[in-house]
Structure 1
Amino acid sequence: MADRDPVELHEQQQFEEVPATEAPKLPELDKRRKRKKILLGLAAAIVVIGGAWWLMSDGDHVTTDNAYVNADSAQVTALVSGPVRSVEVVNTQVVRRGQILFRLDDSDARLALAKAEAEYLKARKQFGQISATSGSLAAQIGARDADIGQAQAQLAAAGASLAKARIDLNRRSELVESGAVSKEELTTAQNAYSTAQANVSQARAAVAQASASRGAARESWAANEALIAGTSVDTSPDVAAAKARLDQARLDHERTVIRAPIDGVVTNRQIQVGQRIAAGSAVMTIVPVGSAYVDANFKEGQLARVRPGQKVALKSDLYGGDVVYHGRVVGFSGGTGSAFALIPAQNATGNWIKVVQRLPVRIVLDPKELAQHPLRVGLSMEAEIDVSGAE
């Protein structure tokens, strides 16, 4: 009896308690037993198949709820210092690239721009003056050549006069002993010879002076030509330097109007009208919500089969499970979060306990889905990567 099936014992008892007139037929009992066995077999098969399917499907997916929305936000900074004249946007406002965010007082910038413009015009005029001076110096060289010719002619005349005076003096010196020439005439001839010698020396000095003047004129002309040789009014160094100062002043004036560098949402605005800000100070942030991505922190043991390009299904706590985002893996971080912490973990101790690390995985989202269901930086996400196609 101990080896009999409990179901059969129960049915046997019911069969014995039923009167002979109401006792079921044996074929009906067999049908009931077969039906129960079939149902039990089907239930067991369903459990086995479901468990196998769950194991197989779970092995082709890795999931984490340690994922957060992120974006390459833009820090808005003023490139010039000055007091804030007006602020055109507020927090949570959607802006487009190039839209005015705020303005600085441009009084100093306008004065600097006007001064730079004046210096630029002055440099151009000075170049024209230098060019004209070159012509004048070239003419002076020609005049000095004429002076040299004139001095040389005077030197020749003085030389002829000296030769005549020498002949006259020699002739009178020979006749003075015979009495044909008086001593007074001899003295006059001697004075004339001395005067002729002085005139020759003076003429030679005039030639040297004219030559020196011509050399000075040539040096001045060469120095002036060096300033403009091979250049035009636009390529002159002085003019180019003045033009650069003008461009800088114009740029500084334009920078008093600060515009949005990207499309996005204004966040963390920190300026007010009248506040003086320094160049380089961050005054607000623009978050490009249309190009947000997700950083999913997977455990290191989950990443053996994860590859760039794999499909990812994501759900946000903001919208719940009804909204599913479809993304793909684009890359992995260069290190775990703890590796880049301000105070990295120091595991070289005697009581070291291994802690499972998480590596950030970058996931890009479908822009169309983002436009339909916008996300914000910092929101929590659930990510499930399909690794079924990994090698």
Structure 2
Amino acid sequence: MDTPSHDSDQTPAEEPKADPKDSPKVDTANPGKRKRLLLIFAAVLVVIAVLYFIYDSLVLSKRVTTDNAYVAAETAQVMPLVSGQVIAVTVSNTQTVKRGQVLMRLDDADLQIAVAQAEADLAGAERRYGQTAATGDALQAQANARGADIGAARAQLLLAQGNLDRAQIDYQRRQALVAAGAVSGDEVTAATNALRTARANVAIAQAGIAQATATRASALEDRAANTALTRGTTRDNAPEVLAARAKLRQARLDLSRAVVRAPIDGVISQRNVQIGQRLAPGTAAMVIVPVDQLYVDANYKEGQLQHVRVGQHATLISDLHGDDVVYHGRVVGLAGGTGASSALIPAQNATGNWIKVVQRLPVRIALDPKELRDHPLRVGLSMDAEIDISGDR
């Protein structure tokens, strides 16, 4: 059986030819143009690098910036200086107040009683001083009277001495006549008794002089003691009067403190007092933030502080007002330590796996009060701070 024969001359199917339009075009016609483009691109990069170097040398290197800055202020704590029950509160949180404006009132009934008592004590002290001065004059009069008593006692002594001399002579005469029997015994006895009486009267007169002298000395001592209480003083500057007057001033001062006033201009914050509440001296009632006396604490990295000095000028931008409002300030001080060093538990890096962490130091920048009035800020807001250090380089 014949098998069909195969044509050995049969050619394989031809592969489809690629379309020349589908192959990528290679610009081999103008290689110089591509070279010029590369040179222009390289020149642009060099110019940009040079411009950045110049900008960094002339501008960036003379300024240090940070966005880790926040608004702060020296707030005023409002607290009563006397105890009492709150009967009125005239302000609320976010309210703007002026210095001297009434913030709250305390019940002053007890304080008014204290003022009345102090006034009575002052009047009593003035009267006691007047009484002491009058007593001194009376004691001087008594001393003068005791001097007159001494004169009277001396006169009595002279009289008694004269009676004694007369009785002595009478007694001697009768005693001389006793031997002759010219006088009776009764006469001698009477003369003897008269002599004794005269002597006793002399002794009494001498004792009267001594008593009058002692009384006058006592009166003079009383006068000296009284004079010591008023010497060099008047009713206006007597110590007791001054003490009573000081107590009266204190009572009046306490009465005035029943009305609590704003110590500074600012905005009320953290008000935590209500009507009817009884406050003790020193109890924090509210806080006043002086919005026109704000400053910024900018936390700069330690590597940025080499040329930062007090007095350098700074510009600041707040997130609140945006880039359209630029604040101007001045560096007034650098903190004495970093925030980590001032923490309750300072960081301890004495470990084997210690990793250095760049520290930040607060730099205080005072703001222009006029700019603050035109564009108010609030404590705690974020700021971008830039300090011009060109003057230190």
Pairwise same-fold verdict (TM > 0.5): yes
Within a 5 Å distance, the mapping from 1:161-200 to structure 2 comes to 161-200=163-202
> What is the alpha-carbon distance in structure 1 between the residues aligned to residue 353 and residue 232 of structure 2?
78
Deviation per CA, 1:315-346, whole angstroms, max 9, x where unpaired? 21222223221212111111111222222223
> What is the Cα deviation at residue 49 of structure 1?
2.6
> What is the Cα deviation at residue 10 of structure 1?
5.7
For 1:87, the equivalent position in structure 2 comes to 89
> What is the Cα deviation at residue 307 of structure 1?
1.1
For 1:3, the equivalent position in structure 2 comes to none
Q: 1:10 and 1:44, CA in 2 relative to 1: closer, same or farther beyond 3 A? A: farther
Among 287, 290, 303, the alignment partner of 2:289 is: 287
Within a 5 Å distance, the mapping from 1:1-391 to structure 2 comes to 12-13=28-29, 36=37, 39-40=40-41, 42-56=43-57, 57-391=59-393
Identity of matched residues, %: 57
Q: 1:186 and 1:94, CA in 2 relative to 1: closer, same or farther beyond 3 A? A: same
Runs of 5+ in structure 1 lacking a partner?
Answer: 1-8, 15-28
> What is the alpha-carbon distance in structure 2 between the residues aligned to residue 111 and residue 169 of structure 1?
83
Tell me whether 309-318 or 282-291 shows the greater mean CA deviation.
Answer: 309-318
Moved over 6 A (4+): none
> What is the alpha-carbon distance in structure 1 between the residues aligned to residue 156 and residue 146 of structure 2?
15
Kindly name which structure, 1 or 2, has the bigger radius of gyration based on alpha carbons: 2
> What is the alpha-carbon distance in structure 2 between the residues aligned to residue 277 and residue 96 of structure 1?
23
TM-score (norm 1): 0.89
> What is the alpha-carbon distance in structure 2 between the residues aligned to residue 187 and residue 345 of structure 1?
122
> What is the Cα deviation at residue 388 of structure 1?
2.0
> What is the alpha-carbon distance in structure 2 between the residues aligned to residue 45 and residue 354 of structure 1?
36
Q: Secondary structure at the match of 1:326?
A: strand
Runs of 5+ in structure 2 lacking a partner?
Answer: 1-24
> What is the Cα deviation at residue 109 of structure 1?
0.4
Q: Secondary structure at the match of 1:298?
A: strand
> What is the Cα deviation at residue 12 of structure 1?
4.4
Q: 1:226 and 1:176, CA in 2 relative to 1: closer, same or farther beyond 3 A? A: same
Paired letter, 1:51: Y
> What is the Cα deviation at residue 176 of structure 1?
1.4
Paired letter, 1:233: R
Tell me whether 348-357 or 156-165 shows the greater mean CA deviation.
Answer: 348-357
> What is the alpha-carbon distance in structure 2 between the residues aligned to residue 34 and residue 336 of structure 1?
56
> What is the alpha-carbon distance in structure 2 between the residues aligned to residue 149 and residue 188 of structure 1?
32
Q: Secondary structure at the match of 1:338?
A: coil
Q: 1:141 and 1:63, CA in 2 relative to 1: closer, same or farther beyond 3 A? A: same
> What is the alpha-carbon distance in structure 1 between the residues aligned to residue 361 and residue 37 of structure 2?
52
> What is the Cα deviation at residue 54 of structure 1?
4.4
> What is the Cα deviation at residue 35 of structure 1?
6.7
Deviation per CA, 1:87-129, whole angstroms, max 9, x where unpaired? 1111111000000110110000000001111111121122222
> What is the alpha-carbon distance in structure 1 between the residues aligned to residue 318 and residue 184 of structure 2?
138
> What is the Cα deviation at residue 44 of structure 1?
2.9
Q: Secondary structure at the match of 1:64?
A: strand
Tell me whether 330-339 or 346-355 shows the greater mean CA deviation.
Answer: 346-355
Deviation per CA, 1:148-173, whole angstroms, max 9, x where unpaired? 00000001111111121122122212
> What is the Cα deviation at residue 36 of structure 1?
4.1
Q: Secondary structure at the match of 2:49?
A: helix
> What is the Cα deviation at residue 191 of structure 1?
0.8
> What is the Cα deviation at residue 282 of structure 1?
1.2
Tell me whether 155-164 or 246-255 shows the greater mean CA deviation.
Answer: 155-164
> What is the alpha-carbon distance in structure 2 between the residues aligned to residue 63 and residue 34 of structure 1?
42
Report the aligned-residue RMSD. Answer: 2.0
How many residues are paired up? Answer: 368
Paired letter, 1:174: A
> What is the alpha-carbon distance in structure 1 between the residues aligned to residue 150 and residue 333 of structure 2?
86
Q: 1:351 and 1:152, CA in 2 relative to 1: closer, same or farther beyond 3 A? A: farther
> What is the alpha-carbon distance in structure 2 between the residues aligned to residue 133 and residue 305 of structure 1?
80
> What is the alpha-carbon distance in structure 2 between the residues aligned to residue 354 and residue 329 of structure 1?
28
Tell me whether 107-116 or 319-328 shows the greater mean CA deviation.
Answer: 319-328
Paired letter, 1:219: E
> What is the Cα deviation at residue 350 of structure 1?
4.6
Deviation per CA, 1:180-202, whole angstroms, max 9, x where unpaired? 11111111111111111111111
For 2:8, the equivalent position in structure 1 comes to none
> What is the alpha-carbon distance in structure 1 between the residues aligned to residue 39 and residue 338 of structure 2?
54
Q: Secondary structure at the match of 2:274?
A: coil
> What is the alpha-carbon distance in structure 2 between the residues aligned to residue 37 and residue 345 of structure 1?
54
> What is the alpha-carbon distance in structure 2 between the residues aligned to residue 341 and residue 13 of structure 1?
73
Paired letter, 1:173: Q
> What is the Cα deviation at residue 55 of structure 1?
3.0
Tell me whether 234-243 or 335-344 shows the greater mean CA deviation.
Answer: 335-344
Q: Secondary structure at the match of 1:265?
A: strand
Q: Secondary structure at the match of 1:290?
A: coil
> What is the Cα deviation at residue 351 of structure 1?
4.4
Paired letter, 2:54: W
